[in-house]
Amino acid sequence: MIYPRTPKAMSNGIRQCRAKALLYLSPTLAITLLAGCKSDVQATAPLPPTVSVAQPLAKTVTDWDEYTGRLEAVQAVEVRARVSGYLESVHFKDGAIVNKGDLLFVIDPRPYQAIANQAKAEVTRNKVRLDLARNNVERAERLFKSRAISAEELDARTQEQRQGLASLEAAKAAVDAAELNVEFTRVRSPIKGRVSRELVTTGNLVSGGSEGATLLTTIVSLDPIYVYFTADERAYLRYSRLARDGSRPSSRDAENPVKLQLADEKDFSHEGRMDFVDNRIDRATGTMQGRALFPNPDMLLIAGLFAKVKLLGEGPYPALLIPDEAIGTDQSQKFVFIIDEQNVARRKTILPGRLEDGLRIVREGLKGDERVVVDGLQRVRPGLTVTPQAAQAKEKADESATVNSSR
């Protein structure tokens, strides 16, 4: 087997051949032998390196921007006492799911029931007074027609009737307030959701009706659920320009799709939609807050969880993809080697994008009909003639993924 000879070895062979020719042979034979030496050296020159080449893979892709978010309940309620009194009973199990209107606590209602009864009695008394005032007005009107009483007397009887009517209305309002307080002694769930534990046990005095009202428990809704996340200024500007150009609608105006992945999940299996974008950039962090809404029928998502979020970035749009191994780095520039029709390597600067199914998206620099070196990049330099072998960009990406997974 003949191995390629290095330039140094070839030079040494020529010198040895010349020395033998000049030492042992006549001038005519020496010239002939020297020509044969050169021919032998040229015959053993190194062959062009073999490299794998492939055309970029054309594919329609959609960009998704990844963020970190935190789940929050759509509704979160602090259940506080509306009236003061001793806690009489608790009617739920800690951590259970409760429906809207379910009874949670009972505060001793007897003091408030007594006040309600007293208010009802006051209504009855004012009704009697009002009936008497109406009878007096009717008699006064008849006497006034017969000139038996003066106009001043009639006016006085009329004003007594009006006062009686006002007193009756006030008494009825007092009854409504008293009955409302009686109702407030039975604390019910304002929403459907999961209740926390009882923060006050039976027999304790609770305060209500003020800002310092006693906190009894909390309830959070479960389905649907929010996820809040923040995007930096560059992302906001990019989304704004895409919306202006018509490439992607703004999340303020459209329910752009959002995907979610929990800490123990391998893919973004939860699908939701954008629900809100804040109205300003936070000066402290330089970010803007967004919110997405996710259905949660199995109640797996709960408030407080961290999650990865993917928001629709751009697309779908046609793109060219190549293996990562085909891309070289020269300081801040990325480049590939393309092979022309004469099998000569040419360097081409590109702008790479994100990964898509193991391949790198090329945003700028390629047209799609080039032969790109996908294997053997270390053996290529600009202007070098090579021996290209056809390969598939997708196959090279699959091979790379297999090697990385085996490691």
Structure tokens at 357: 């199914």
Q: What span, in angstroms and rounded, lies between the C-alpha atoms of 7 and 15?
A: 13
CATH fold for the domain made of 64-73+222-315 = Elongation Factor Tu (Ef-tu); domain 3 (2.40.30)
pLDDT of residue 257: 94
**CA dihedral of 321, 327, 329, 330, whole degrees rounded to 10:** -90
The beta-strand segments (E) located in 74-185 are 76-80, 85-90, 97-98, 103-107
d(CA 332, CA 339): 23
**Model pLDDT for residues 185-224, shown as the tens digit of each residue:** 999 999 999 999 999 999 999 998 777 899 999 999 999 9
Give one DSSP letter per residue of 331-386, joined into a string. TTEEEEEEE-TTSBEEEEEEEEEEEETTEEEEEES--S---EEEE-GGG--TT-B-
Domain boundaries, the chain: 7-43, 50-59+317-406, 64-73+222-315, 79-107+187-219, 109-184
> For residue 127, what pLDDT is reported?
86
- Residue 243: CB atoms within 10 A of its CB come to 16
DSSP type of residue 223: S
What is the reported pLDDT for 158?
Answer: 82
Question: Is the CATH number of domain 79-107+187-219 3.40.50.1100?
Answer: no
Q: Estimate to the nearest angstrom the gap between the alpha carbon of 8 and the chain centroid.
A: 63
What pLDDT is recorded for position 363?
87
Cis before 190 (ω within 30): no
Taking residue 253's Cβ as centre, other Cβ atoms within 10 Å add up to 10
CA distance 327 to 375: 10
State mean pLDDT over 367-371.
89
Least confident of 77-81, 104-108, 255-259, 384-388: 384-388
The order of strands in the sheet holding 186-188 is: 186-188, 103-107, 85-90, 205-206
Q: How far apart are CA 390 and CA 406, in angstroms?
A: 26
- Distances from the Cα of 61 to the Cα of 244, 272, 321, 357, 365, angstroms: 21, 20, 10, 10, 18
Give pLDDT, residue 395.
55
- For residue 56, the SS3 value is coil
DSSP state of 2: P
Highest mean pLDDT among 49-63, 80-94, 154-168, 356-370: 80-94
In this predicted structure, the answer to whether residue 277 has a pLDDT above a threshold of 90 is: yes
What mean pLDDT value characterizes the chain?
84
pLDDT of residue 7: 47
Per-residue pLDDT band for 393 (boundaries 50, 70, 90) equals: low
The answer to whether residue 149 scores a pLDDT higher than 80 is: no
Beta carbons within 8 Å of 24's beta carbon, 6+ residues apart: none
Peptide bond before residue 318 is cis, with ω within 30 degrees of 0: no
Gyration radius of the chain over CA positions = 45
Q: What is the pLDDT confidence band of residue 6, given thresholds at 50, 70 and 90?
A: very low
- What band does 258 get if pLDDT is binned at 50, 70 and 90? very high
Q: Look at residue 289 in the predicted model and tell me its pLDDT.
A: 95
- Cα-based distances in Å from 405 to 103, 263, 395, 402: 56, 21, 15, 5
Confidence grade of residue 16 (pLDDT, cut at 50, 70, 90): low
pLDDT tens string 286-311: 999 999 999 999 999 999 999 999 99
Mean pLDDT to the nearest integer, 247-255: 89
Reported as a single tens digit per residue, the pLDDT across 118-140 is 999 988 888 888 888 888 777 77
Backbone angles phi, psi at 301, to 5 degrees: -80, 130
CA separation for the pair 123, 126 (Å, rounded): 5
Is domain 50-59+317-406 given the CATH code 2.40.420.20 in the classification?
A: yes
What pLDDT, on a 0 to 100 scale, did the predictor assign at position 280?
93
DSSP code at position 324: G
What is residue 29's predicted lDDT score, i.e. its pLDDT? 46
Cβ within 8 Å of residue 358, ≥6 positions away:
323, 397, 398, 400, 401
CA distance 175 to 126: 13
One-letter amino acid at 86 equals: Y
Q: Is the pLDDT of residue 25 over 60?
A: no
Between 150 and 183, whose confidence is greater? Answer: 183
- The domain over range 109-184 is classified in CATH as 1.10.287: yes
pLDDT tens profile 221-240: 999 999 999 999 999 999 99
Residue pair 302/294 in contact by the 8 Å Cβ criterion: no
